[in-house]
Amino acid sequence: MNDTMVTLVGNVATSVEYRDTATGGVARFRFAVTARRWDRERGAWTDGHTSFYTVFAWRALGVNLAASVSVGEPLVVHGRLRVREEDLEEGRPDGRRRTFVDIDALAVGHDLTRGTAAFRRVVKGEPRLTERQGNGGAERDPWEGAQAQGAEAAKVLEPVL
């Protein structure tokens, strides 16, 4: 299969939402990429159009993203480009369709041209999702917490391989 691979540099636009599924966990967030160019007349950088993508990360990458990434952070995302069209309003055959551009991430990292990061390797066999507070580290539903607590919920997730 010929996939279109892309590498995007931008900023996290929404909180990372994590959900366990039958085929493994998945994390999802919106990613903003703004073109910048040098304006010779003004002698300064100017921002161009901002494109938004929905990034999906599966299994260990998804868990690690939820535990590591916050809104506004600069990232480099590498993955498969998927473009899909859907009816704007379901059940209406008036031809109104909307285009969505998604990225199935294969690798994600902080953009080190704009800051520093500290990498922590995950030891295999560690519990996937644990609560740091409450019922003694028992596993919980991460989707429920992410919806109720937003960005704070992503901080209670432990990264895994």
- pLDDT, one tens digit per residue, over 109-120 is 999 999 999 999
Q: Average pLDDT of 54-58?
A: 97
Of 128 and 53, the structure prediction assigns the larger pLDDT to: 53
**CA proximity to 53, closest of 76, 81, 93:** 81
Which residues are registered as beta bridge partners of 55?
29, 103
Q: Answer whether residue 136 shows pLDDT above 70.
A: no
Q: Average pLDDT of 139-144?
A: 44
pTM of the model: 0.71
**What is the distance between the alpha carbons of residues 82 and 96, in angstroms, rounded to a whole number?**
20
β-pairing, 5-12 vs 26-39, is antiparallel
Q: Answer whether residue 18 shows pLDDT above 70.
A: yes
Q: Where are the alpha helices (DSSP H) in 28-122?
A: 59-68
- pLDDT, one tens digit per residue, over 2-11 is 899 999 999 9
β-pairing, 74-87 vs 44-58, is unpaired
Beta strands in the chain (DSSP E): 5-12, 17-19, 26-39, 44-58, 74-87, 97-110
| pLDDT for the residue 143 | 44
**CA proximity to 71, closest of 155, 142, 139, 143:** 155
Which residues are registered as beta bridge partners of 51?
33
**What is the distance between the alpha carbons of residues 122 and 159, in angstroms, rounded to a whole number?**
7
| pLDDT for the residue 11 | 98
Q: Are 110 and 117 in contact (CB under 8 A)?
A: yes
- pLDDT, one tens digit per residue, over 68-107 is 999 999 999 999 999 998 876 666 666 678 889 999 999 9
Q: Answer whether residue 137 shows pLDDT above 60.
A: no
